[in-house]
Each structure stands twice: as C-alpha cells, then as structure tokens.
Amino acid sequence: MAKKNSAGVSTLINLAVWLTGVIVSLSVGFAMTDGTLSLPRWLGGMVVAEVAGWVVIILTLLSVVLAIVEKMR
C-alpha cells in the first residue's frame, strides 16, 4: 500500500516539475519575442532573440501536445 501512495506522490511531483518547466519556457519565449529579453549585439541582438523566442514557444507547445497524446495512448 505504501508503494502505491509513493508512486502517486512521485507522479504529482513530476507533473509539478513539468508544468513549471512549461510555464518558464513560455515566459522566456514570449519575453524574447516581445523584446523584454534580448541578446547582446555581437550575438545578433533583437532579431536572433525574437527568432529564438519563437522557436522556444513552438517547441514548448509541441512538447505539451505530444505529452498529452502520449498519456492518452
């Protein structure tokens, strides 16, 4: 019985960590596309930051969809 309860807590912790990662990734991605976060000029500045932000947003949303599809299987 303790093993089953421990697995439930572990699943809840994993969900919390995963959700935190998604929220942080989306926050950073949107901040980069909005111009709040930028890169130094020698790294490409705002243009590279905006492209990188969109890559982060798209990949994060794709991973959320894939994780939901995987759980439904």
Q: How far apart are CA 51 and CA 37, in angstroms?
A: 12
At 30 the pLDDT is 97
Hey, where are the domains in the chain?
22-72
pLDDT tens for each residue of 14-65: 999 999 999 999 999 999 999 999 889 988 889 999 999 999 999 999 999 9
For 63, how many CA atoms within 13 A lie in the half-sphere containing its CB? 13
Q: Report pTM.
A: 0.82
